Structure 1
């Protein structure tokens, strides 16, 4: 189990599943979730790999499962 108060990779139930980024409306596979320090607080960042194209990152709160 990952610590939630430390930087680094995090486990998530949607890892390696098809997800949608509500901010960009893009879809792809959730490749990683990383907790990073930004402005004195920890933010969970989702890294999404589309089927074709360039991977991108977004706040994990923007990620939903594609059904």
Structure 2
């Protein structure tokens, strides 16, 4: 089996983003292509890691992020 993850470039890194699935906002810290396989067949997903205002990071699909709108 190959590596479990690899970091990917993204145009919103270190910018404020919003997770459209949860509505949570924070700073995009990393985008990772992660192997989430639990069997012999590999399954890779692109995850966005976002640091919220509390300092805790959460992950979501990279397809769920958009730039946060400044108010």
Q: Which category of TM-score, normalised to the shorter sequence, fits these structures?
A: 0.7 to 0.9
Q: Corresponding residue for 2:62?
A: 60
Structure 2: state its 5+ residue gaps: none
The aligned length equals 62
Q: Corresponding residue for 2:26?
A: 28
d(CA) in 2 for partners of 1:29 and 1:7? 21
Considering only aligned residues, what root-mean-square deviation do their CA atoms show, in Å? Answer: 1.6
TM-score for both structures, normalised by structure 2: 0.77
Spell out structure 1 runs of 4+ moving beyond 4 A: none
Structure 1: state its 5+ residue gaps: 1-5
TM-score for both structures, normalised by structure 1: 0.81
Is 1:42 paired with 2:44? yes
